[in-house]
Amino acid sequence: MTDNQFRDAAAGETSPLERRRRSGGRGAERSRKPAATKYLKLVNTLAKSTVLSEDALEAIHDASLTILEEIGMDIILPEARDRMKAAGADVTPGTDRVRFDRGLIMEMIASAPSGFTMHARNPARNVEIGGNNLVFAQIASAPFVADREGGRRTGNQEDFRKLVKLAQSYDIVHTTGGYPVEPVDLHASIRHLDCLSDMVKLTDKVFHAYSLGRQRNTDGIEIARIGRGISMEQMQREPSLFTIINTSSPLRLDGPMLQGIIEMSSRNQVVVVTPFTLAGAMAPVTIAGALVQQNAEALCGIAFTQMVRKGAPVMYGGFTSNVDMKTGAPAFGTPEYMKAVIAGGQLARKYNIPYRTSNTNAANTLDAQAAYESALSLWALTQGGGNFVMHAAGWTEGGLTASFEKFILDVDMLQMVAEFLQPLDVSEDALGLDAVRDVGPGGHYFGTMHTLQRYETAFYSPILSDWRNFETWTEAGRPTTYDHANRVFKQKLNEYERPPLDPAIEEELDAFVARRKEEGGVPTDF
Amino acid sequence: MTDNQFRDAAAGETSPLERRRRSGGRGAERSRKPAATKYLKLVNTLAKSTVLSEDALEAIHDASLTILEEIGMDIILPEARDRMKAAGADVTPGTDRVRFDRGLIMEMIASAPSGFTMHARNPARNVEIGGNNLVFAQIASAPFVADREGGRRTGNQEDFRKLVKLAQSYDIVHTTGGYPVEPVDLHASIRHLDCLSDMVKLTDKVFHAYSLGRQRNTDGIEIARIGRGISMEQMQREPSLFTIINTSSPLRLDGPMLQGIIEMSSRNQVVVVTPFTLAGAMAPVTIAGALVQQNAEALCGIAFTQMVRKGAPVMYGGFTSNVDMKTGAPAFGTPEYMKAVIAGGQLARKYNIPYRTSNTNAANTLDAQAAYESALSLWALTQGGGNFVMHAAGWTEGGLTASFEKFILDVDMLQMVAEFLQPLDVSEDALGLDAVRDVGPGGHYFGTMHTLQRYETAFYSPILSDWRNFETWTEAGRPTTYDHANRVFKQKLNEYERPPLDPAIEEELDAFVARRKEEGGVPTDF
């Protein structure tokens, strides 16, 4: 026995022999089961991590209210200023500036619900927002799209549809998040009609309407209503559509966003108020300062939803990260991002409002960076109590590009997060004392009944991880995660099937879209 | 204004324009500062995550003590059985089997210290083990080594030395962990002499001696003593060397490992007891069952250290993961691994013993898989309260290969974890109200005094992340994380400088090694 073999035998940890039991047969060939329905509803019972003491949380809260009282926000829509003034805000005549007494803000915040259901046309796809619920939404709003063969290209309808089909294909992607890529080959005047019609037909999940003027909001609401086959009264009882409201940081809310709040909140649809506060660019260079500004802007937007309609469903969005101060490039999935995400969760829970976060990275390709920045994002938002995760699958290059391969990588990572959150089985059977008695010292568990009864479902079977041994992997051409993801997204698109849709609903939808197109959609200046 | 531009202006989150401020100049060219000394000592004040209820924790504890009482362990060293018998254990005559009353185990466990210092020859490199301290050790014991140019090859002294130099080059790598790669070009009889001599000369950090028979342990202790330039009495007061003790799961402790405990614990050096319990192979197929077995084996080994010497420094090691049940290949950085790591932390804290974990992955190359499996490992061990992290930098392919590029990737990720753990500055200055007052609605923070005073140090500057915009990155040849890591490790090796060493100590060390070589080192049968 050589010294090395001796140590191998003695030390399980260091034993290549043990690990050489790896054999081939995995990867391309392995069978894939349909996505487990356990991914339809995710509950995160982890105790929430914190990065702010109670005092620090209070200091950020207090500073943000001071901003709203002393400095105020520019509210760039007369109707919104009028509503705010009616609610008791201090509007400076002849300007956009509105200041808010902290008592007014807190009174409005108090009426926002702590949780609600978003209704899909397929009730199995309804999502619960708030509490310990965790909901993942696909990437939204990328101007570019990429896959390995096609490279990086401007968004278009064909890729839009493929990405929407992929969102439908995995239960872990609970909702779409907007247009996964902007289909610029569709004229802006009718783009929302085609895209939202596709959302209804190609998926049976909840979807999003952009707040780009009153008409697009009301068209979106009507399409969601038709898709569900319900009355407007029922639609108003059952929130079924959401919109992202970004502030124009620092301290501004633009007209279309304010209009979006008015249209959506007044009809009891979901508003996600998300300041985009990059520390050092649109917000102070410190994470604490950026959080103060995030909180001021978020509270202002949320308060406005409640001025429009008490009890309207709304989420507290956090999107604070840092920039690379050498170049001004935005950075994501950084240690600073992690802290901001966790602190944002503390703020949202303080106000008892569901918390929206994002799965981010700034990588240009599907390399290790894409994975570690996303994994660090998922770490923070899971431990920090995120309820609704935008850009959960497909986001790359700081949101500039929707990547087909990254979509699959993200789905795999999201499923791993979901598996991590499944309770550990500690039943007597799982503790396995009898199995240990059977095997005893020096045996192995490969062929025991305890193992045979469980081995097929005992562990998560990843989509992409290549666990073949080095030799087999080399014979297979040394595929990377990128290669596997490329193969899987194409396979998944081939397997895609439209979810059932009542022909009467489809007819009504087509008629609505046709009529609105005849009317010219939404007027544009080009 | 086009519709798209309109939305861009309205919605910060969706604005490509904002993000186009990215410019070139990052990556290869960026200057790197010396590693921050803040990485020398890491404290993890996060509240520890849990996956076991109090009842479940108690059930695992109870089942593991039942195993030690009813089934027992095979203790494959007469001297160890004699010591156990003397301490009160039930040794079955004529066999290796030893059974332990739960009272005996718990009495022994109670005398293990909750924390201690491991002393390096440079006191600035001493590491605190236990409590909220977090210590990272380099990869150990890989039979293969790899870099991009050289491919995957059998371990050798040259690569061994390069990896040890890299460990010295980053403060975030607090200790080496063993031989980062096995230098098989050195004969096994004298390998430990050359390798440990290198550890003293090429680093000033704490190091590890393999437990491969009494003589290698005592040689290791003597080399550590000489390196520190202290007496054996002082060495016995100040633990300065550690050894990993792997059980031969299931339920066995082999001769060299038991001998290692005797040699190391009797001299008050550090023993890290680590069962290697792959669920479905050497342990039950359920994570709960594997944890039960891990706990039984760990408690047995830890108890034995205290039978050898009450109060001897010891760590509770957890290394439970799952196998791919289709092939038997071990899997790492999985959701199951995450749960096992966090549960292991709960067990170690229950016994008030420092907790050893690992930064793992099973990737064959530096792709996204390598990053996400490692990131998930780091997530679990950080949130789960790991104190001492073996294989923190350089481990790939399930431990079969030490990768130069993965070493750099891990260093970057470890530094990100460290940055995440730095307290968030919430001073009045950091809250930045005055900066918000200065900028007001609609401005930006790029040129403000608040930003200018902080921008150079405000955020972590990653080693590898490539945040250049897509065009600049494309012009640069589209480098991936792998490319950057390849460049950095070579650059870092070029910059390596030996840490100062008293010439008298070096002389004494050389004389000891020469004498022991003349004596033939340690006899082998080949």
What per-residue confidence (pLDDT) applies to A3? 34
Has residue A25 got a pLDDT over 70? no
What are the chain A neighbours of B334 within 8 Å (beta carbons)?
416, 459-460, 462
Q: Which residue has the higher pLDDT, A293 or B19?
A: A293
Nearest residue in chain A measured CA to CA from B379: A379
Structure token digits, residue A60: 């950020």
From the list A9, A420, A469, which residue is nearest B329 (CB)? A469
What are the chain A neighbours of B444 within 8 Å (beta carbons)?
250, 281-282
Question: Would the CB atoms of A436 and B289 count as touching at under 8 Å?
Answer: yes
3-class secondary structure, A112:
coil
CA–CA distance, A473 with B398 (Å, rounded to integer)? 14
What per-residue confidence (pLDDT) applies to B471? 96
CA distance B230 to chain A (A): 30
What are the chain B neighbours of A50 within 8 Å (beta carbons)?
47
Question: Would the CB atoms of B430 and A455 count as touching at under 8 Å?
Answer: no
Q: Which residue has the tokens 């609970």?
A: A174
What per-residue confidence (pLDDT) applies to A447? 85
What per-residue confidence (pLDDT) applies to A98? 98
From the list A47, A327, A363, which residue is nearest B26 (CB)? A327
Structure token digits, residue B466: 């490539």
pLDDT average, residue stretch A134-159? 98
Question: Would the CB atoms of B280 and A450 count as touching at under 8 Å?
Answer: no
Question: Would the CB atoms of A367 and B367 count as touching at under 8 Å?
Answer: yes
What are the chain B neighbours of A473 within 8 Å (beta carbons)?
364
Question: Would the CB atoms of B366 and A368 count as touching at under 8 Å?
Answer: yes
Which of B327, B347, B428, B483 to mutate against chain A (most A CBs within 10 Å)?
B327
What per-residue confidence (pLDDT) applies to B37? 75
What are the chain A neighbours of B362 within 8 Å (beta carbons)?
465, 467
Question: Would the CB atoms of A440 and B71 count as touching at under 8 Å?
Answer: yes
What per-residue confidence (pLDDT) applies to B36? 53
User: Residues A72-127: pLDDT tens digits?
Assistant: 999 999 999 999 999 999 999 999 999 999 999 999 999 999 999 999 999 999 99
pLDDT confidence band for A328 (50 / 70 / 90): confident
Nearest residue in chain A measured CA to CA from B153: A470
What per-residue confidence (pLDDT) applies to A507? 98
What are the chain A neighbours of B417 within 8 Å (beta carbons)?
335
CA distance B441 to chain A (A): 5
Question: Would the CB atoms of B470 and A319 count as touching at under 8 Å?
Answer: no
What are the chain B neighbours of A478 within 8 Å (beta carbons)?
364-365
What per-residue confidence (pLDDT) applies to A526? 62
pLDDT average, residue stretch A319-343? 93
Among A478, A461, A460, A481, CA closest to A469: A478
pTM of the model: 0.94
Question: Would the CB atoms of B401 and A251 count as touching at under 8 Å?
Answer: no
CA distance A297 to chain B (A): 11
Nearest residue in chain A measured CA to CA from B143: A16
Backbone angles phi and psi of B394, in degrees to 5: 110, -10
As a whole number, the mean pLDDT across chain A is: 93
Q: Which residues contact B320 (CB under 8 A, 6 or more apart)?
A: B275, B277, B278, B279, B283, B287, B290, B291, B294, B337, B340, B341, B344
From the list A1, A7, A364, which residue is nearest B470 (CB)? A364
- How many Å from the N-terminal Cα to the C-terminal Cα in chain A? 81
Which of B465, B468, B483 to mutate against chain A (most A CBs within 10 Å)?
B465
What are the chain A neighbours of B64 within 8 Å (beta carbons)?
none
CA distance A424 to chain B (A): 7
Give, as one character, the DSSP assignment of residue B97: E
Residues B435/A289, Cβ–Cβ less than 8 Å: yes
From the list B364, B416, B422, which residue is nearest A466 (CB)? B364
3-class secondary structure, A469:
coil
Residues A290-303 as b or e (16 or more Cβ within 10 Å = b): bbbbbbbbbbbbbb
What per-residue confidence (pLDDT) applies to B524? 83
What per-residue confidence (pLDDT) applies to A36? 53
Nearest residue in chain A measured CA to CA from B390: A13
Q: What is the maximal distance between C-alpha atoms in chain A?
A: 91
Question: Would the CB atoms of B459 and A419 count as touching at under 8 Å?
Answer: no
Among A95, A118, A102, A100, CA closest to A62: A102
pLDDT confidence band for A4 (50 / 70 / 90): very low
Has residue A474 got a pLDDT over 80? yes
What are the chain A neighbours of B416 within 8 Å (beta carbons)?
334-335, 372, 376
Has residue A9 got a pLDDT over 60? no
Question: Would the CB atoms of A47 and B50 count as touching at under 8 Å?
Answer: yes
What per-residue confidence (pLDDT) applies to A22? 37
Structure token digits, residue A488: 């899987």
Size of interface A-B (CB pairs under 8 A): 553
Task: Determine the angle formed by the axes of helices A368-383 and A335-351, rounding to 10 degrees.
Answer: 20
What per-residue confidence (pLDDT) applies to A37? 75
Q: Which residues contact A28 (CB under 8 A, 6 or more apart)?
A: A476, A487
From the list B74, B284, B368, which residue is nearest A436 (CB)? B284
Nearest residue in chain A measured CA to CA from B343: A424
Give mean pLDDT in consecutive 10-residue pieces for chain B, a chain of 526 residues: 33 38 36 62 97 98 98 98 98 97 98 98 98 98 98 98 98 98 97 98 98 97 98 98 97 98 98 96 96 98 98 98 86 97 98 98 98 98 98 98 98 98 96 95 92 91 96 97 98 98 98 97 81
Question: Would the CB atoms of B10 and A255 count as touching at under 8 Å?
Answer: yes
Which of B253, B420, B475, B526 to mutate against chain A (most A CBs within 10 Å)?
B420
CA distance A128 to chain B (A): 23
Strand residue runs (E) in A222-375 = 241-246, 252-253, 270-274, 277-279, 314-317, 320-322, 355-358
